[in-house]
Amino acid sequence: RQLHVKDLYTEDLADQTEVELTGWVKTVRASKNVGFIELNDGSSIHNVQIVMTKDLPNFEELGKLPISTTIQVTGELALTPKAQQPFEIHATAIKEIGQSNNDYPLQKKKHTYEYLRTMAHLRPRTTTFYAVFKIRSLAAFAVHQYLQGHDFTYVNTPLITSSDAEGAGEMFQVTTLDLNNLPKDDQGNVDETQDFFKKKTNLTVSGQLEVEAFALAFGNVYTFGPTFRAEDSHTTRHASEFWMIEPEMAFADLNDMMNEAQGLLKGVITYIFKHGMDELQFLNDNVDEHLIERLKTTEQEDFGRITYTEAIELLEKAPVEFKVPVYWGLDLQAEHERYITEQVFNKPVFITDYPKEIKAFYMRDNDDGKTVAAADLLVPEIGELIGGSQREERLAQLTDKIKEFGLSLDDYQWYLDLRKYGETEESGFGIGFERLVMYLTGMENIRDVIPYPRTPGNAEF
């Protein structure tokens, strides 16, 4: 019977069942009379051990197969309850059906992540990256399942847009103009009306503004798609192309937003515990020994909640060994975030009510005139995982805010319309999907949780 490796682990197969498997050689060792092949076919993180004896006509050649050769194995299942592996396959025939070569770059020894980044096309074949990308896939499904289960409608927002959702100007321009021969207008400026869309366009930094329009029609909505930022950040947590989940809710204030974000994160973890335990266990054993414990805490405990002002006080009172200069008004740096999540709380914590100058124009002004109704979620090891806020729904205030931030009212006319036709309490947040996958896998570099990372100076493949 043609089977997948996964079936061997999940089905209750009897001893001596006839099986046929197709897969890749992960390791091979052979002595004079007997040999062992670890076979994997991608259906499971686990390999299955193939035992071959010199009775096989091609026994000699099999002992020398290069790693990653594609083979077809026919044999008999042998249950081995006392051995390390619960079963093995006693081969009756092994056929090479696709060659590999002896210079296969991923030999059995452990490679550094830096080295593996130079071969984004081969690293999925390692067990670590298998686990990471399996969890990435499970997490994406869990996000959709959780949100759809809570009556959120999935909305696809455009990737090419003419608006700057964050008002920060960190955008990749999209153009078909010939850079060596740009059309100029009378003033000598680039004539954008001659471009493909007859105006200046860029890759989206966030789908928030566009999805807000749908929140004000559907109530609860979310986007989940790629976003792009041309920020020159060389860190382990910034990518130029990353995926973002952006839930947005009408009739919701900042507390509702935090409750929803906490529920979603816990829901995703519960799903991974149920469907990705083998991968989590592998990562816990090989990548981060505190992974499962940290995820359990996150799943079970309420997240902390403090205001930005309280966070600054905590930082000012920090013992010398953790002290990093800080003052009210400063945007929190990675060191500050780590101190609060790892030393003070040792679990995820929301920081709310930031100074308005360091946050985006669309956040709702608090009554103190100094802060906005924002909430960032900081988590141990990573720092900022979620950025969110209550939105400024008051047309007059929003109009002033756009002007204060030096943005053009023309560009945001459609966004102002959303308030002009029905001011509504509204909140939303964005989860960086790669940072979520880092949290779920214990991987420390964002380049190792996205299949083909794009960072400043690097866009291989």
Applying CB under 5 A, the residues found at the interface with Mg ion are 387
Cβ nearer to Mg ion, comparing 38 with 212: 212
Nearer to Mg ion, 239 or 272 (CB): 239
87 binds, among ligand 4AD, Mg ion, none (CB under 5 to 8 A by kind): none
The burial of 369, by beta-carbon neighbours within 10 Å (0-12 exposed, 13-18 middle, 19 or more buried), is given as: exposed
Q: What does the buried/exposed string (b/e) look like for 293-320 if buried means 16 or more CB atoms within 10 Å of the residue's CB?
A: ebbeebeeeebbebebbebbebbeebee
**Strands 349-355 and 241-250, bridge-based pairing:** unpaired
* Residue with Cβ nearer Mg ion (388 or 453): 388
The interface partner of residue 257, options being Mg ion, ligand 4AD, none and the CB cut-off 5 to 8 Å by kind, is none
Q: Which does 427 bind (CB under 5 to 8 A by kind): ligand 4AD, Mg ion, none?
A: none
Q: Select 299 or 384, whichever has its Cβ closest to Mg ion.
A: 384
Q: Which residues contact 446 (CB under 8 A, 6 or more apart)?
A: 236, 237, 238, 239, 242, 434, 435, 438, 453, 455
Q: Among Mg ion, ligand 4AD, none, what does residue 246 contact (CB within 5–8 Å per kind)? A: ligand 4AD
The Cα–Cα gap between 447 and 347 comes to: 24
Is the distance from CB of 59 to CB of 37 less than 8 angstroms?
A: no
Query: What backbone torsions phi and psi does residue 3 show, to the nearest 5 degrees?
Result: -130, 165
Q: Give the DSSP letter of residue 184.
A: B
Tally of CB atoms within 10 A around 457: 8
> CA-CA distance, 27 to 69, in Å (whole number)?
10
- Min dist CB 217 to ligand 4AD, Å, is 17
Q: Taking CB within 5 to 8 Å according to partner kind, which of Mg ion, ligand 4AD, none is near residue 206?
A: ligand 4AD
Residues forming the site for ligand 4AD (CB under 6 A):
165-166, 206, 208, 229, 231, 238-239, 242, 244, 246, 384-388, 428-430, 432, 434-435, 446
Residue 229 contacts which entry, Mg ion, ligand 4AD, none (Cβ below 5-8 A, type-dependent) = ligand 4AD
Nearest to Mg ion of 139, 378 (CB atom): 378
**Which of 50/221 has CB closer to ligand 4AD?**
221
Residues 6+ apart with CB under 8 A from 312: 326, 327, 328, 330
Residue 192: contacted member of ligand 4AD, Mg ion, none (CB under 5 to 8 Å, by partner type): none
Q: Residue 8 touches which of Mg ion, ligand 4AD, none (CB < 5 to 8 A by kind)?
A: none
Q: How far is the CB of 206 from ligand 4AD (least distance, A)?
A: 4
Q: What residue number has its CB nearest to Mg ion?
A: 387
CA distance 130 to 374: 37
Least Cβ distance, residue 409 to ligand 4AD (angstroms)? 20
Structure tokens at 251: 């009739």
State in angstroms the smallest separation of the CB of 264 from ligand 4AD.
13
What is the smallest separation between the CB atom of 387 and Mg ion, expressed in angstroms?
3
- How far, in whole angstroms, is CA 107 from its chain's centroid? 28
In the complex, what is the shortest distance from the CB of residue 276 to ligand 4AD, in angstroms, rounded to a whole number?
A: 21
Between 276 and 430, name the residue whose CB sits nearer to ligand 4AD: 430
